[in-house]
Amino acid sequence: MKSYEININSNKRAIPIAIFCFGLSIYFMALIPRDWNDIASFITIAILFFAPIIPITIFSRGKIRIELTEEGFRTIWVKRFFLSSEPNIELNWNRIIDYVNQEDRGIGSFRLTLTDSQQFKFYRYTYFPQNDDFDKFLTQFPKFIKTVNFSNQKSIKEGRTEFQTRSFKWILSGLTILAIGLLVNTLMNPDSGTRWATLGVIFSGIIFYWIQATRKTNANRH
């Protein structure tokens, strides 16, 4: 048996905290004196914008222990979410079709697709470094399932992320064309009002999602 303790987050609990904290930040942003210099205003706004991420991450966090055995995949609560009563989960290997680890900027997720059109899924907020076993779990999980003796001669594959679907790639292609158009317009019309910092943020996001969309998985290779 292999065991891993992993920090996870609840979107259901994070959303109301985010609404309250970001609302409070916007309120304080409105109180910033207009006669402050640009640097002081920028630093204050940046602090107010990013500060809510700390309570959102902390108050939506729980911890589970994942156990991999010859019989199946098991999760046991080490620290439950606030006001949580979710049970521990045990899944026989024959119920699992594939697994997907999806990386996003600040929010990652791990999903198991099950035979009865259900899913097991948890989220991890990665705005800050996590002190847990998730990276070790991701490395060892594919190797472990190759050692399992399945009763129906099946195997568990790595599935496609949402970013690797055809529909997402079409949307991303459209956004890329729009971003290139915005860049060309900015080069031809320097007084258009578009900031280079804004373009930098846009293109960094597009590059990130193209990397995710073209990342090779077992699902891509078959």
Specify whether 178 is located in the same domain as 201: yes
Distance CA 142, CA 161 (A): 16
What is the three-class DSSP state of 19? helix
DSSP letter (8 states) at residue 220: H
Specify whether 71 is located in the same domain as 30: no
Q: What is the pLDDT of residue 7?
A: 94
Specify whether 80 is located in the same domain as 119: yes
Specify whether 79 is located in the same domain as 115: yes
pLDDT tens, residue by residue, 117-134: 888 999 998 888 888 999
How does residue 42 score in pLDDT terms, banded at 50, 70 and 90? confident
Boundary residue ending a domain (134, 160, 186)? 160
Boundary residue ending a domain (112, 136, 160)? 160
Segment 168-183 shows an average pLDDT of 82
Specify whether 38 is located in the same domain as 141: no
Helix segments in 8-165, DSSP class H = 11-30, 38-50, 53-59, 134-145
Specify whether 126 is located in the same domain as 154: yes
Specify whether 94 is located in the same domain as 169: no
At residue 37, does pLDDT exceed 90? no
Structural domain count of the chain: 3
Segment 163-173 shows an average pLDDT of 73
93 and 150 Cβ atoms separated by less than 8 Å: yes
- Residue 210 belongs to what domain range? 164-221
Long-range pairs of 197-204 with CB within 8 A, sequence gap ≥ 24 = 203/179
At residue 185, does pLDDT exceed 90? no
pLDDT tens, residue by residue, 135-163: 899 899 988 988 886 655 577 887 776 66
Specify whether 98 is located in the same domain as 6: yes
What is the three-class DSSP state of 25? helix
CATH code, domain with 80:
2.30.29.30
Specify whether 6 is located in the same domain as 25: no
Highest mean pLDDT among 18-27, 124-133, 151-160, 196-205: 18-27
Specify whether 76 is located in the same domain as 150: yes
User: In this structure, what are the phi and psi dihedrals at residue 28, rounded to the nearest 5 degrees?
Assistant: -70, -30
Specify whether 174 is located in the same domain as 144: no
Specify whether 122 is located in the same domain as 210: no
